[in-house]
Structure 1
Amino acid sequence: MLKPWFILMLAVIVIAGCAKESSEAAPSEAKQITVASSTDSGINRLDAASYEGMMQAYPLIYDSLVEYGEKGEIQPALAESWDISPDGKEYTFHLRKDVQFSDGTPFNAEAVKFSVDRWANKPEHDWLLTSKNLKSVEVIDEFTVKLTFTKHYYMTLAELSYPRPFRIMSPTSVEPAGDPEGKFVKAIGTAAWVQAEYIQDVQTVFTPNSTYWGDKSGIDKLTFKVVPDSQSRVLAAQNGTIDIAGGEVSKIPLESLSLLKNGEKTKLATQKGTASYFLVVNDANKAIADKKVRQAINYAVDKQSIARDLFDGTGSPATGILPTTNAYVSEDNNKGYSYNPGMAKQLLNEAGWKDANGDGTVEKEGENLVFSLVLQTEEYPEWKPLAEAVQDQLSKVGIQVELKVLEQASYYDALWKNKDYDLLIYRTYADAFNPLSFLMALFYKTNEAPAVAFGTEQLSSLIDRAAATLTDEERFKAYNDIFQLMNEEAMSVPLFYPDDLFVVNNRISDVQLGATTFRPIVWEKLRLDEQR
């Protein structure tokens, strides 16, 4: 394992080297765009049926049967068209005939079956009902494949667009070749890019796939350079050694936006987002298990001041758990809690938490009300000032908060494995994952497993009902009931709805932001000014 100081030194050397090379390069080499990444791409373990590696790397290599477009419109991709049986249990996909994998392997129904067999009915994908409910996959002919499910599920097409685990990989990506249980050896797909170079924790270089069936890229190299430190990303954007930073790939510190918005070499590209930042509450904590305490926390947080003072117009204050840019989320079912510290104090008092000694902290049975608040800053540097604002606001109603900044891996362990927190800043999923997949992943409990975040049998029943709906009218009613219950029970603390935001070098034109966080920019449509 490379030491962090060595990785940083190597990254600086590589960045400086690339800057020197670009000034001396031949014209064809000038058509290179460098993207800052907060983490390694993990291209050497980018099995399409896994969750390894950077989410945004998957669509560069692997296509899906269908794509998720603007406002949830499902668009053709490797499947030109599809038929759905009246009962919603059978999906027949008619595949493109002009496609091959980047290594020359034919793309056909057998290749699709190989990929499906690789993810179907695996326990790690049970939160995705497309996997859990798959009954069979059948090759009808060379370019027709049918998926049959045990029950109707309205999110099937949306889930098939996900970056993982449903994308289509070549049978030659594993050993033995074509074995659905084979060992992954290399990322081979049909999408617009192929791996050209990989230095772990330093950079991954992609070049255009010469066999790609879609529009060809206008650039020769797309490099994802690992720059873990957010301030280093700002400096690299200012001096032009990186061309793009932002989104879920590499967050930019909010305090630097004014410098980059109309910089000598930089500009911003933004659009309304579909994700939100919120507090996960751990109901294993005895105090948090009390609904009045959870409601008090919601009333104590001033979302308007957070949006105004911290985020400088790059998003909006949160109300409910998801913004209305998502399907089935509306103003009516997304009201949330207003800022009311007086009501917060009253609820704490009713729950038995009182400031008996006048020290500013409420107590009960001789114990102060103190919560840990877990966060990470490698991917989300803005979470530190956000956590500090929450800490300050909760202190004003008598709740003390101790901030715990963890390394990225430990942070995710705290959320997904050991539940070692009282409060934890997290972000909802976005676009194609909302609302259902996000709710299933975080708030759904079964007899075998508790919810990752907060869950009740009633909520799980409502989520099941939403999944089984056949019409939009039924779906709206189901989600109205879900969001109303989540709000009444204060199952989370919504904080902020961030915009999708990227810092882009001025030499890049035609920046088209994507419809999803896993394809945040339509990379193959990027152009350099000299290419006009």
Structure 2
Amino acid sequence: MKKRLLSLALCGALLCGALAGCGGNETTSASQEPSSSQAAEESKILTTAVGAELNTLYPLNMDVQNNIGTKLCYEGLVNYEIGDIVPCLAESWEFSDDGTALTFHLKEGVTFHDGTPFNAEAVKTDFEFAHPNPNFSNISAVAKLESIEVVDEYTVTFHYPNAYFAYLMDFCYPETMVLVSPAVLEEGNYQSMNGVVGTGPYVYEEIVDGDYVRFVRNENYWGEQPYYDEVIVKYIPDASARLQALQSGEIDLIYGSALLTWDDYQQATSLPNIAGAVAESDSKTRNLVLNASGVLSDLKVREAVAYAIDKETLSEGLTYGEETPADHLFPDGIPYTDVELNVIRTYDPEKANALLDEAGWVINESTGIREKDGQALSLKYTYDSGDALNKSLATAVKSQLAAVGINVETEGQEMMTWWQEGVAGNYDLIMWNTEQPYTSPHNYFIPMLSRSPHVPSLPAVEGSDEFLALIEEFQTTDDSARVQEIFDQLLNFDNDNVLDLPLLFVKDMIVYNTDKIAGYDFSSTPMFFDVRLIQPAE
């Protein structure tokens, strides 16, 4: 899922107007900027591309392709690195003995891009603004706030009604739990802001509609100055055009699994002067949610779907084996998810056929599709069309399910439509990926209480009330043993009832022009591009 927040349906307004007012001169004319190679002779400029316009740089409204702008402009109190939470704008922190108060000690001498001081008052203003925002309803560190106390200029305490094991983890979101200048906030306006103003290493400079966004180095940055003077993010919606732009030198790199299929990656790295790299760690899981409230109400049919899908073939055929078959909902290394499952389902079309027979779905010899009581076994499969691999993956799953007599109608949807339709239950199968390590598993399950495709599905599943009660309970404890017990039960209930069907563990990748770039060091959150991790070519 693209679910940095499961509330994107509330974010209807785009930010073009705000972008125009917060940096350099905006123009809607054709781009006049020099090519990457020409500009590099005058200053160090990095140029990359996205498939969706960066016209929504307000943190709450970013989609996965906008993640490339996240770490340019914004920073949070803490970061997630290789399983640990490390300082960023907060130098240290501690919890009260009862776990209900979290105190941050802030870095001194930091200013926002507009000159506003970063201090405890700014933190208080930002998170008090966020607290009533329904977009934060699934992030407990904000949603459950009782009060924020300014202890002194650089010390701030967040007060909560109860202890919770994941409060600090919630502050690791690099695209939503970031600090913006209080000057850009407008009370009650949760869909736009009066500028793109953070504390990050780059400052938003200009947008040329339909062409590019330019960021310039923050000369007052508190940390180490980045190598590149400017970063230009070009809008190139067509995948083949992006590869051509890379080959010609118009852009220097393409980053991430949302923009590149593995065929794209293979094609790019076969070109002269183009190299690539793949992250070692998995980013998330390509996952299907099955709607138990409709055609898939019979557990035997949901199980048949699981047995009919050959994940090894998906891995080899679509990703050249780079993305490995997912045998659990979350990749290895995620806290509380190393759970022994009651049921392990591997590819077994004979088992799938037998289950469908038992469920009363009989093959129509003339169509090859199973029928029951005059109804064909046909499933609606929806996916976000903005993710590069989703269409090919849907086509492959359609073919595999057809082999056991299940018809699948696939439908790629624009992200907002996909999210809204999923939450409304207008699907039988929906591609709904898990999230990053610091948000899993807690922030995958919490939306099941309010806004996720699971919400319309769960009432049809026996035992779902107890399942939902466990989700409520884990938000009220920091007892790690009890938390583990709860996730043992949640993950097994989910798997037993085939609420989710994990397919592949996602790997992110980069392709780049070797004339400009020597390599890239992936972070432990590889879905987020960080310009500071580029190794420039000498």
1:171-197 Cα offsets, whole Å, 9 max, x none, are 22235xxx6869721121111111011
CA contact (8 A) 1:192 1:524 kept: no
Name the CA distance, whole Å, in 2 between partners of 1:432 and 1:145: 22
Name the CA distance, whole Å, in 1 between partners of 2:339 and 2:250: 43
TM-fit CA distance, 1:275: 0.7
Q: Which of 85, 89, 93 does residue 74 from structure 1 map onto?
A: 85
1:263 matched residue in structure 2? 271
CA contact (8 A) 1:193 1:206 kept: yes
Name the CA distance, whole Å, in 1 between partners of 2:222 and 2:269: 36
TM-fit CA distance, 1:63: 1.4
2:71 matched residue in structure 1? 59
Q: Which of 415, 428, 431 does residue 425 from structure 1 map onto?
A: 431
1:124 matched residue in structure 2? 135
**1:201-350 correspondence to structure 2 within 5 Å:** 201-247=210-256, 250-271=258-279, 272-285=281-294, 287-330=295-338, 332-333=340-341, 336-350=344-358
2:413 matched residue in structure 1? 406
Name the CA distance, whole Å, in 1 between partners of 2:275 and 2:345: 36
Query: 1:192 is matched by which residue type in structure 2?
Result: P
SS of corresponding position for 1:322:
coil
Q: Which of 424, 445, 449 does residue 444 from structure 1 map onto?
A: 449
Q: Which of structures 1 and 2 has the larger relative contact order (alpha carbons within 8 angstroms, sep 6+)?
A: 2
Name the CA distance, whole Å, in 2 between partners of 1:144 and 1:133: 20
CA contact (8 A) 1:231 1:253 kept: no
TM-fit CA distance, 1:98: 1.9
TM-fit CA distance, 1:263: 2.9
Q: Which of 18, 41, 65 does residue 27 from structure 1 map onto?
A: 41
TM-fit CA distance, 1:299: 0.6
Name the CA distance, whole Å, in 2 between partners of 1:296 and 1:25: 57
SS of corresponding position for 1:451:
helix
Query: 2:437 is matched by which residue type in structure 1?
Result: D
1:41 matched residue in structure 2? 54
Q: Report the more deviating stretch, 426-435 or 464-473.
A: 464-473
Name the CA distance, whole Å, in 1 between partners of 2:482 and 2:78: 24
Name the CA distance, whole Å, in 2 between partners of 1:25 and 1:360: 59
CA contact (8 A) 1:391 1:400 kept: yes
Name the CA distance, whole Å, in 1 between partners of 2:364 and 2:36: 67
Name the CA distance, whole Å, in 1 between partners of 2:266 and 2:482: 45
2:7 matched residue in structure 1? none
Query: 1:51 is matched by which residue type in structure 2?
Result: N
Tell me if 1:170 matches 2:181.
yes
Q: Which of 144, 161, 174 does residue 150 from structure 1 map onto?
A: 161
Name the CA distance, whole Å, in 1 between partners of 2:145 and 2:268: 48
TM-fit CA distance, 1:471: 4.0
Query: 1:511 is matched by which residue type in structure 2?
Result: Y
Query: 2:376 is matched by which residue type in structure 1?
Result: N
Name the CA distance, whole Å, in 1 between partners of 2:371 and 2:61: 43
TM-fit CA distance, 1:445: 4.7
CA-based RMSD: 2.8
TM-fit CA distance, 1:311: 1.0
Distance 1:452 1:264, change over 3 A: farther
Name the CA distance, whole Å, in 1 between partners of 2:513 and 2:413: 32
Q: Report the more deviating stretch, 427-436 or 455-464.
A: 455-464
State the percentage of identical aligned residues.
Answer: 28
2:152 matched residue in structure 1? 141
Q: Report the more deviating stretch, 83-92 or 471-480.
A: 471-480
Q: Which of 487, 490, 497 does residue 489 from structure 1 map onto?
A: 497
1:394 matched residue in structure 2? 401
CA contact (8 A) 2:39 2:45 kept: no
CA contact (8 A) 1:36 1:245 kept: yes
Query: 2:455 is matched by which residue type in structure 1?
Result: A
Query: 2:71 is matched by which residue type in structure 1?
Result: P
Distance 1:330 1:140, change over 3 A: same
SS of corresponding position for 1:33:
strand
Query: 1:128 is matched by which residue type in structure 2?
Result: I
- The normalised TM-score by structure 2 is 0.87
Query: 1:59 is matched by which residue type in structure 2?
Result: K
Name the CA distance, whole Å, in 2 between partners of 1:12 and 1:401: 44
Q: Report the more deviating stretch, 457-466 or 62-71.
A: 457-466
Stretches of structure 2 that go unaligned for 5 or more consecutive residues are: 1-12, 14-26
SS of corresponding position for 1:411:
helix
1:4 matched residue in structure 2? none
Name the CA distance, whole Å, in 2 between partners of 1:105 and 1:219: 24
Name the CA distance, whole Å, in 2 between partners of 1:400 and 1:11: 46
Name the CA distance, whole Å, in 2 between partners of 1:512 and 1:521: 10
Name the CA distance, whole Å, in 2 between partners of 1:303 and 1:331: 20
After superposing on structure 2, the runs of 4+ consecutive aligned residues of structure 1 that deviate more than 6 Å are 10-13, 180-183
1:6 matched residue in structure 2? none
SS of corresponding position for 1:316:
coil
Name the CA distance, whole Å, in 2 between partners of 1:277 and 1:81: 35
Distance 1:461 1:145, change over 3 A: same
CA contact (8 A) 1:511 1:526 kept: yes
CA contact (8 A) 1:320 1:336 kept: no
2:523 matched residue in structure 1? 514
CA contact (8 A) 1:334 1:483 kept: no
CA contact (8 A) 1:121 1:133 kept: no
